């Protein structure tokens, strides 16, 4: 595997300061909150561009948490540097998504078994066709087991990784993503899953539904916090 020199251009940590398992929220303040709330003995390893990263312990297991920013270009940079610079092996995105099916409700957990996309991110691999991004089966199985044990409401399936949060009002053409069974949309997992696939490491994305593209519903800040905490309980079982 290609390696890059550390500190990398975007992560100011030394080798050994980042755990093999890294939880990846989009928001830097979420990373700080997770470190302060769920980890013990957390030490901050990054503040470059205010993309906060911390390493600590959960139930005696060493785990890191670092923000990725929004969109595939940003996730592409951080996941690449974590994998090729710091040797990270389990990269777990914890984010929010917009529901694209009626049965996917606000605050539900969505686990991305597969990721479809409208992004050109994977053009960098110059593949001779379309690549189907899939998660680590091992991480998915552990997440499903943890969610079942805690009696949580979750969905497993295909999601859309979109380059656009805002869309112009364009007329629909052809078949919609929802028609193809896509559960929800977000903006980073194509970069994460494809970088992990190329490097032979494990990736998994999990979300709470923050809004519905079907009903127009949105969560309140308080609801987001509660559902986020539920998802964190699953994520920490993966460490
Ligand atoms: N679109 C893209 N990403 C998202 C959304 C959305 O509606 N909601 C949360 N993340």
Could you report the per-residue pLDDT of 90-128, keeping only the tens digit for each?
999 999 999 999 999 999 999 999 999 999 999 999 999
Which one of 71, 208, 210 would you pick to mutate in the ligand 1 pocket, going by the greatest count of ligand atoms within 8 A of its CB? 210
Provide the pLDDT for residue 168. Answer: 84
Residues with CB under 6 A from ligand 1: 96-98, 162, 165, 185-187, 210-211, 213
- Hey, which residues are catalytic here? 211
Amino acid 151: pLDDT: 94
Residue 166, CA distances (Å) to 81, 163, 190 in order? 29, 9, 18
Q: What is the whole-number distance in angstroms between the Cα of residue 100 and the centre of ligand 1?
A: 10
pLDDT at 96: 97
Question: Which residue's alpha carbon is at the smallest distance from atom 3 of ligand 1?
Answer: 186
Query: Of the residues 165, 209, 214, which should be mutated to test ligand 1's pocket, given the most ligand atoms within 8 Å of the CB?
Result: 165
Helix H or strand E segment including 196: helix 189-199
What is the mean pLDDT of the segment spanning 133-149?
A: 98
**pLDDT at 221 > cutoff 90:** no
| pLDDT at residue number 147 | 97
Task: Output the pLDDT for position 63.
Answer: 98
Ligand 1: atom nearest CA of 187 is 3
User: 142-180 pLDDT, tens per residue?
Assistant: 999 999 999 999 999 999 999 999 988 888 789 999 999
Residue nearest to atom 6 of ligand 1 (CA): 98
Q: 15: CA distance to ligand 1 center in Å? A: 34
Percentage above 70 pLDDT, the chain: 100
- Which residues sit opposite 40 in a β-bridge? 57
For residue 158, the cross-strand partners are 114
Q: How far is the CA of 190 from the centre of ligand 1 (A)?
A: 14
- The three-state secondary structure class of 137 is helix
Distance 56 CA to ligand 1 centre (A): 29
Among the atoms of ligand 1, which is closest to the Cα of residue 213?
7
Alpha carbon separation from 202 to 33, 88, 175, 230, 238 (Å, rounded): 24, 9, 31, 22, 11
Indicate the average pLDDT of the chain: 96
Encoding tokens for residue 132? 């189907």
What's the pLDDT at 226? 84
How many angstroms does the Cα of residue 117 sit away from the middle of ligand 1? 13
Quickly count: other Cβ atoms within 10 Å of residue 139's Cβ.
Answer: 21
Per-residue CA distances from 223 to 39, 70, 102, 175, 226 (Å): 22, 21, 19, 33, 5
Q: Which domains occur in the chain, in start order? A: 21-236 (3.40.50.1580)
Please give the Cα distance from 200 to 7 (Å, whole number). Answer: 22
pLDDT tens column, 43-63: 999 999 999 999 999 999 999
């Amino acid at each position: 595997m290609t390696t890059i020199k550390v500190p990398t251009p975007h992560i100011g940590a030394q080798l050994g300061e980042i755990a093999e398992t890294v939880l990846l929220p989009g928001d830097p303040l979420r990373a700080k909150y997770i470190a302060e709330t769920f980890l013990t003995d957390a030490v901050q390893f990054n503040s470059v561009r205010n993309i906060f990263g911390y390493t600590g312990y959960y139930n005696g297991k060493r785990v890191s948490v670092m923000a990725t920013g929004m969109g595939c270009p940003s996730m592409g940079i951080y996941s690449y540097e974590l994998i090729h610079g710091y040797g990270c092996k389990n990269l777990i995105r914890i984010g929010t998504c917009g529901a694209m099916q009626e049965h996917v409700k606000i605050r539900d957990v969505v686990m991305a078994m597969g990721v479809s996309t409208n992004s050109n991110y994977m053009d960098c691999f110059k593949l001779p066709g379309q690549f189907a991004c899939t998660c680590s089966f091992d991480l998915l199985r552990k997440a499903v087991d943890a969610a079942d044990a805690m009696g949580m409401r979750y969905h497993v399936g295909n999601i859309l990784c979109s380059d656009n949060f805002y869309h112009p009002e364009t007329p629909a053409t052809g078949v919609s993503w929802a028609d193809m069974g896509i559960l929800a949309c977000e903006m980073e997992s194509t970069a994460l899953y494809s970088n992990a696939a190329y490097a032979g490491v494990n990736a998994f994305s999990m979300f709470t539904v923050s809004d519905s593209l079907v009903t127009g519903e949105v969560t309140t800040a308080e609801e987001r916090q509660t559902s986020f905490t539920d998802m964190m309980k699953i994520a920490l079982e993966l460490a």
